[in-house]
Structure 1
């Protein structure tokens, strides 16, 4: 097809920064992006291409390719409009010369919105070939490639002046015809479906945006003058696209191992370590025999039964049978993410694939992780020296937060996966990254009602996107288990499956198997009730290690951890006991060192001290592979008490102290004189309170208290399932005092009401579900990523978890005269950070999150230095200005203590 001079004159890219007149024709850019999409899909597993074919109603990708690439190429049709062409003077003058004019200066309208409008409403071959709903949804998908979907009101607001009529409509039709002719997309073989569906929409939107990121880069696609033969141009663009993918590290997606290995032959670390399968792992292997469609595995098994190895093995089998493109492992916290990252890197390295594997760490403090830093250095060095082809690396291009989910493998927090189903910019790219993938969700019990509902929505989308999921927990309440299974399409849930158990959902069908827990890992705990106050707790803690051993104290708040550490500090030092403190309220670099130190002492291969006490918060209960001889824990919901208890005698050790003949779990707050305990106001230090009911639900705490108060011991895993079901189930507890029963009944409606409110709030937060049409709605307000927009009102943020508002702060010490110090470096808050990346990174490594309301309000009011706002590392951080290590904000005085971390004091006066 010969193009008119008007069509050739349209510009798609220009070098406006240098203002040297260089430009790239619009049609060239459209073909560049289509070429990138084709190159990406050529390197994807065959099953990914089949999913696109299915979306458009074809039996195979070859038949779908012409129409798919045509739709993606037309993503920038809206640039053929006055609203866009007027943005660059030289380009505007050129198109005017070709008769494409406008009466007055048009208003700015995102060209993606115009693309969507033109594709939906104008007369061109697409209107005749495609069903209206299909065309409307496809136009929406490719039109939102810059991150935001247009609302109906925004589309209606686009006027004729911005869109352009007459010659503009003719040139847009010409572009559509040229694209269809080039790819051979004729009406005789047009898509046979009437609509895309939710998964098809997100697949098309995600691929278009991903391809546009690459196709828009001058590093990969230099400007080329208009050419006569579009076919020749496209072939060259496809070669450039493959070269660009090589440069960013997007390799062909191949299975980690082509041959199927029995579990006992799978290497689980870089040294090739293998394991004989345990009962859980044999159960998983059996359920995955002959697996022919995407699958959910819901694993409920005691702590230390090998769930992680079962998940890795499950991914291998699912990848081989289904062609999954990779895996993402989602954890509750950064600390658990760091621990899993190391294990995942070792597993991937041990698999020994000939093509390097890309592995990204996804959480806000990834830069602090030394292992991740080493993988990034490997990627930089790759190919520069002989033999520098690592088995695992972390390519720089995917380290950007928006692009990290595109990587083949990833480990991080659950929040990074949940951002895919929240209405924020480019969420469809994250959704695309999770498609046709194995997603592992560990410690699924660790989330509140709101986040749990978001996880259910995520599972529904994973099912629709053709992804498999492996969800793991020590145990779950019946209601929670059934909700997770149904979210992945389960038609019904089997009753009375003994614990431990594994459920499998595939194509709506549910299978379940129970298995015998590893008999070598059965633990009988002695249960000891203690008051919440420290007068009895401190002597008991010190006595537990008097003759040797390692004790953990897990408490419910950071403030209580700091106070217990202070109470223990003097006596422990006098008795030669090593005392450590670990919680989340430390500067990031210090927290990372503490985390590594804790794992180095109490981990599986740890250098166990002769006598040691570790005081910490909930960061110790989730996924960290730690092992203690004795434990003291604050009373918490039963499932979390059991989770904490899973760190007792976790490993088979021959080096326990002679006096540690049996594991003991001391529960602080379980010994109370009143029949109805007070978890909120019971004072244990002058002026200090517990606040446990601010952390956990009162009804659940009371039910846990009622069940544990008469017990002398716990049997793990035997007691796990009945205890959790008794606490979370609907029935009344037997044999408890009437006053305690009345208190539980009084607290229960509030819990139920809060649960309904949290689920309703979550239902309004995510983008809809894939099978009921709710995904079609465009949110009236696009919500903002909290990490990218700290100044936004909370109602406008895309929250993955409920809780008090928080901000990231960097403690800086005021030296006077406008000089400040942080991390041993002097600087000025208003100094420019341009070219000072090392300083910015040193500051960033000291960040920590605070959520105390008066501090958040005062810091938000004070704002951030302009130089910080403009820097990619510091733009979300506020300076916490300290004098002499202290500062007053609102009703609070804060102190940064080298040992205790950030400490809150009440302001005097």
Structure 2
């Protein structure tokens, strides 16, 4: 190592071959004086700084970290920015990190009280790679000062080749730590955090042996680099002859903790790069840790950053009743009991009937887990945006009961959160929505100019200094939502953390120290499940407690999810653990049930418990069929039992309802729901409601609210209608708390069919017509045959596949007179439907079943394989000890919310548009209220305009992206500037490529390639 301290520096300097020409030719004292530095008196009271030669200090005094143009008009020295970041890290430790995270970092660094200093060092050292010619030449003013200090570079080399400072930092820190005799294993996990702090972890080969002219050649550059890192380490609190030797941690963190730490490094860097609060400091004599701490404290207060609930006390015996206003049910007590018996953080799979109260039980369990294991927040993931919004309200209410004020810190995380009035109400005091939430961090990417200052995916927030009744604005920017202390959003937010994409470490850091609750996990298909299992692997290795909630979970899926979490905890491949636990993990003996899994002394531990549902009597559901042939065969084979589908439906409901009763009709496609609605409307008039995904947001919200009001839980303020028929799509499967007297549904896989049945006779205390006193489900959309398998609607097969529909059809036909006992039979029915036993189907079906299974298996395998290219960990690399090369062959660039959704959901990509009507006088919102001539939106009209949002069919995506854009008056609007407008004429029609579109006030969006939109 080239040691630049005074005792050795003179001996090295005696040999001119060790000195760069500029250092021997220039006067170090002149350069130092130009920065207000005098040898031996740099800090005035601290002799440690006096160990350095004036020329070395002159170089440190010139090295810049933020150019004047991006630091408030004054250059910010590199050491200043590094100390700013370390000071921010101290505040992150004191005021943000969960207790459990601090415990783990203390253990890592060598014991209680050691983690804080190491964490500050790790965050602050991130930009050491800026002390290289590749970076220092980039700003003309900064470059002149560096050259004047005596450091030089090959101007042709630096101008010809790119060498970013994050990789340069990785290479530099490897040299320094090796010279300071760090263990190789610690060097190997630390350097990727520095080399990857701009979002991607390079391989060791990418640091390379090349680019020496860009890295800084010769003793002068090495002396400056070494002094910079040593002075930084000393200011952070590491003393002694060789401060870097004292930094070395005592234990190697898990790869998950490394990823979380990497995200926290990025977090601290971005905060310390905020141009509003960290102006430049160009005088080295003013660059000290206390000054940086003052700057960081002032910025922290102005930003309004904070952590979660801190140390939670153990819940009292009355906590559940205090939070939710009722005594816990047996299944809720069971979850709390199992959570209290686990000896460490782990995974809890909670299965129970629809309406059992799993969510409330999970939130109560979160309190218990937090108190036991030092957790400081929660993320609740839901299957859709529509289910996220009511959960957002529920979590806020729960937190308010836990401790007043916490409810104001909940972030809503999905791409259309601006449509949620409760969320917007939290941000009602925002003064300037036009400012990009990331614009103030431009200096972060000074050597990658195209990355920062881009439009934010999420809306910006308040830039004032007053206290806001919402999560801090900083948490609302791109990629940072999960860093909020409490968050509710789609499950996509968890799936994103399992993707090999840029800045994935920020998402991982956001889940550190939280409890993760994922509701309705059965909704994840085979493609999404790859990301779910990968996410669980990382959560398992990071010892993040997880609760998975489901009403209907196939046994194989339960085993796979448990295996994924335990594989992470053991740093093993999922397939290996799946085989190992197959014999150890028992199946639940009853329903509802809780399956708990965790690691104790390296060995998997399990608790599998069950109890009786709160409805001990259950429901004896009558299962009937309404045969229906596919449209192409109806004309040739129509009979009394296979009449036109809508005619049969009308006859059925006329007979069963009469003039009293409430029915729910669930169709598998929007077009089919629209057709059914039209047929029923002709007979039942205004007693028919339609709900599907191609209603604009205003209509969808109004109709959902109306359905919940009419068919929700009974109460003194609710009057059940005499007769009502709700026609809906799969929207009614999840978190739709309505109670139907009769259910008519298209054939769907058994777990989804049972979800739909969960809306049948759902609430107690409902007065029903005598003929509807027995719950009944009528399954249609298929037609049995005397010889061979049934005919199934092609549209249903396209969605779900023929194999599972055949197995479910056999179950429906076998239900016979006995029907199904709900919920007692739910686990058995799901296990049977997703099993492999051919005895489920008649003999003359089996050839068709085997063929369908081959096609289904092949498709499942192809979809699972399609996810592999994007998973965070490449196959076979789960045992890797560090993060080096993690992003090799990963997704490129920065993805917006829509692109991320497409990445983790294997559906056809679709876009949303905002409907705008023209009446001859100009544009109007769907409500009829007039906009400005170019679509300008007054503040009081925002809700009216957003209400016109509707999702187009996927077949229109490419055309919409090419032809549709925001109205001119939306260009500067924070919510509408990225929204595509679909302009409708006075008749409510529009042309989009070869398709004609129309919006019907009753039917919603209609699409047709012909003259009549349909």
Question: TM-score over 0.5 for the alignment?
Answer: yes
Name the SS of the counterpart of 2:497 in structure 1: helix
Q: State the distance in 2 between where 1:153 and 1:733 align.
A: 56
Partner of 2:102: 49
Offset from partner CA, 1:324-349 (integer Å, 9 cap, x none): 11111111111111121111111111
Equivalent position of 1:551 in the other structure: 663
Q: Which moved more, 1:77-86 or 1:253-262?
A: 253-262
SS in 2 for 1:710: helix
**Equivalent residue in structure 2 for 1:11, among 36, 59, 64:** 64
> Counterpart of 1:361 in 2: which secondary structure?
strand
Which residue number in structure 2 is paired with residue 685 of structure 1?
A: none
Once superposed, what is the RMSD of the aligned Cα atoms? 3.3
Matched, 1:499 2:593: no
Instruction: Identify which of 854, 864, 867 aligns with 1:759.
Output: 864
Residue range with higher mean Cα deviation, 406-415 or 221-230: 221-230
Give the Cα separation in 2 of the matches to 1:108 and 1:865. 37
> In structure 1, what is the Cα distance between the partners aligned to 2:493 and 2:557?
22
Which digits, 9 at most, give the CA deviation of each residue in 1:637-659, with x for residues without a partner? 01101011011111112444455
- Note if contact 2:110-2:251 (Cα within 8 Å) is conserved in structure 1: no
* Alpha-carbon contact 1:579-1:614 (below 8 Å) kept: yes
Query: Structure 1 residue 596: deviation in Å?
Result: 3.1
How far residue 154 of structure 1 moved from its aligned partner, in angstroms, is: 5.2
- 1:898 aligns with one of 983, 994, 1001: 1001
Alignment partner, residue 131 of structure 2? 80
Offset, 1:141: 1.5
Distance 1:592 1:223, change over 3 A: farther
In 1: Cα distance, 2:210 partner to 2:771 partner: 79
Q: Distance in 2 between matches of 1:594 and 1:837?
A: 25
Matches within 5 A, 1:275-286: 275-286=326-337
Asked if residue 803 in structure 1 is aligned to residue 893 in structure 2, the reply is no
Paired with 1:798 and 1:889, the residues of 2 have a C-alpha distance of: 22
Matches for 1:39-438 after TM superposition, within 5 Å: 39-43=91-95, 44-54=97-107, 56=108, 58-60=110-112, 62-102=113-153, 103-104=155-156, 106=159, 107-120=161-174, 122=175, 124-125=176-177, 127-150=179-202, 155-156=207-208, 159-166=211-218, 167-185=220-238, 186=243, 189-192=246-249, 196-228=253-285, 230=287, 233-254=288-309, 257-262=312-317, 265-268=320-323, 273-353=324-404, 358-377=409-428, 393-438=470-515
Partner of 2:448: none
Offset, 1:568: 1.4
Q: Does 1:715 align with 2:821?
A: yes
* Kept in 1: contact 2:696–2:1004 (CA 8 A): yes
Cα distance between partner residues in 1 of 2:188 and 2:467: 46
Mapping of residues 387-786 of structure 1, within 5 Å: 393-489=470-566, 492=581, 493-500=584-591, 501-507=593-599, 508-520=604-616, 522-532=618-628, 533-573=645-685, 577-604=686-713, 608-657=720-769, 659-673=771-785, 675-676=787-788, 682=793, 690-711=794-815, 712=817, 713-734=819-840, 736-768=841-873, 771-773=878-880, 776=884, 777-783=886-892
Decide whether the 8 Å contact of 1:358 with 1:409 is kept in 2: yes
State the shift of 1:462 in Å.
1.0
Deviation at 1:430, TM superposition (A): 0.8
User: 945, 951, 956: which one pairs with 1:849?
Assistant: 951
User: How far apart, in 2, do the equivalents of 1:672 and 1:756 lie?
Assistant: 30
1:537 Cα shift? 0.7
Question: Is the 8 Å Cα contact of residues 301 and 499 (structure 1) preserved in structure 2?
Answer: no
Question: What is the rounded CA distance, in whole Å, between the counterparts of 1:763 and 1:631 in structure 2?
Answer: 40
Distance in 2 separating the partners of 1:331 and 1:21 = 46
Shift of 1:437: 1.1
CA contact (8 A) 1:341 1:411 kept: yes
Offset from partner CA, 1:361-409 (integer Å, 9 cap, x none): 111111111222223348999xx9xxx999x844433233422101111
Closer, same or farther in 2 for the Cα pair 1:29/1:786, shift >3 Å?
A: closer
* 1:731 CA displacement: 1.3
The two structures have a TM-score, normalised by structure 1, of: 0.88
- What is the alpha-carbon distance in structure 1 between the residues aligned to residue 536 and residue 802 of structure 2? 29
Spell out, residue by residue over 1:133-182, the C-alpha distance to the aligned partner (whole angstroms, 9 max, x if none): 43243222233333233356754497344333233333222111111222
Asked whether the equivalents of residues 810 and 877 of structure 1 are also in contact (C-alpha less than 8 Å), the reply is yes
What is the SS of the residue equivalent to 1:598?
helix
Name the CA distance, whole Å, in 2 between partners of 1:556 and 1:719. Answer: 24
Deviation per CA, 1:482-538, whole angstroms, max 9, x where unpaired?
Answer: 001111117624334313121111212111112122244611112221134111112
Whether 2:990 is the aligned partner of 1:887: answer yes
Q: Does the residue aligned with 1:627 lie in a helix, a strand or coil?
A: coil
CA distance in 2, matches of 1:872, 1:143: 34
Which entry has the higher C-alpha Rg, 1 or 2? 2
TM-score by length of 2: 0.80
CA contact (8 A) 2:399 2:406 kept: no
SS in 2 for 1:267: helix
SS of structure 1 residue aligned to 2:999: strand
SS of corresponding position for 1:74: helix
TM superposition shift of 1:840: 8.1
Select 1:38's aligned residue among 86, 90, 100: 90
Give deviations 1:706-765, integer Å, cap 9, x for gaps. 11113232210122111111111121124x433322211111111112222222222332
Q: CA deviation at 1:448?
A: 0.7
Determine helix, strand or coil for the equivalent of 1:896.
Answer: strand
Moved more, 250-259 or 494-503: 250-259
Shift of 1:417: 1.6
